[in-house]
Amino acid sequence: LPTRAGSSLEPEERSMEPPAEPEEEVPITAAPGPAGCQLFGYVGIEAVLDQMKIKTMKTGFEFNIMVVGQSGLGKSTMVNTLFKSKVSRKASQPSQEERIPKTVQLQSITHVIEEKGVKMKLTVTDTPGFGDQINNENCWDPIIKYINEQYERYLREEILITRKRKIPDTRVHGCVYFIPPTGHWLRPLDLEFMRRLSKIVNVVPVIAKADTLTLEERAEFKQQIQEDLKTHAISVYPQEDFDQDPDDRMLNNRIREKIPFAVVGADQEHQVNGKRVLGRKTKWGIIEVENPTHCEFPLLQDLLIRSHLQDLKDITHNVHYESYRVRRLNESNRP
């Protein structure tokens, strides 16, 4: 005989226990909660960080920095202090012609620095002759040309049909601009340079040889520079438009309050309280460049190397190089 679905030919056995409530099924596609998906055991996802670290230690990475400023502001000394090595060579007893170049000449020096197994290919580009002439009209043109040439070189390698597995990166990731310690305001040369260069590269302004200013003069000079930058709508690094999340914005806001950094460079060690420290020896004592109470060099070092080095490279690739790439490809597609 036909039976209804779910019925049985055997007599139904009644149980005295109450029927169990059906368990609530959780769909697999449910969105994870705030704490993320709960794992039943160890998967090993955190090992990805170890893989990235091992790969970086094997291949190393590249960092290209440019220093711009008038002669005598301590650009080479500052670079040597940043990386604690003689990465920027100084000319020994330069001739009269070499001392005052007729035009801006760019000199690049490349070194491989290794620390605790991590290799960094460092390229330092110096700009002798910038701002040294009586007529400094368009003295930034060779610098802009050099930066765009590095973008063009990278673009040519990138659009090849058969590309290299790793394209050599010579693009300038950061430009440290040395402001003379006048104690008054930014010169028209400083404003025009930063206005033009901030559109194509990450510009980090610093007050050079800040030990020539008193603390009151330094604070007043810094405030005047911040007002000048805001008045002329000059966006220096770290740019406010590129903050990705509230934590980054909070950190970068603290940095922006202290820019430009008042720095002192020194590549000689001195004995202070039984310790060897980098500093400048004067009649009144030793100015320790790595002491935050003496100058803001530690803040510059943290920004360029310890906290924002990868961010400098990311903004160079995703913003400055990308805008250059779009412009060049649009030009080539025009009839």
Residue predicted with more confidence, 191 or 284: 191
Domain ranges of the chain: 49-68+79-92+100-333
- pLDDT band (50, 70, 90) for residue 266: confident
- The b/e string for 279-317 (b: 16+ C-beta within 10 A; e otherwise) is bbeeeeebbbbbbeebbbbbbbbebbeeebbebbbebbe
Query: How confident is the model over 149-181, as pLDDT tens digits?
Result: 999 999 999 999 998 888 999 999 999 999 999
Query: How confident is the model over 268-324, as pLDDT tens digits?
Result: 888 888 888 888 888 888 888 888 888 999 999 999 999 999 999 999 999 999 999
Residue 91 has pLDDT above 80, yes or no: no
5-19, 59-73, 144-158, 191-205: range with lowest mean pLDDT: 5-19
Q: Distance (Å, rounded) from C-alpha 319 to C-alpha 109?
A: 26
- Helix ranges (H only) for 112-208 are 141-158, 188-197
Q: Distance (Å, rounded) from C-alpha 285 to C-alpha 154?
A: 48
Nearest to 291 by CA among 267, 271, 268, 263: 263
- Amino acid identity of residue 105, one-letter, is Q
Nearest to 262 by CA among 197, 205, 304: 205
Q: Distance (Å, rounded) from C-alpha 85 to C-alpha 94?
A: 22
Among the CATH numbers 3.40.50.300, 3.60.110.10, 1.10.260.40, 3.10.310.50, which is that of 49-68+79-92+100-333?
A: 3.40.50.300
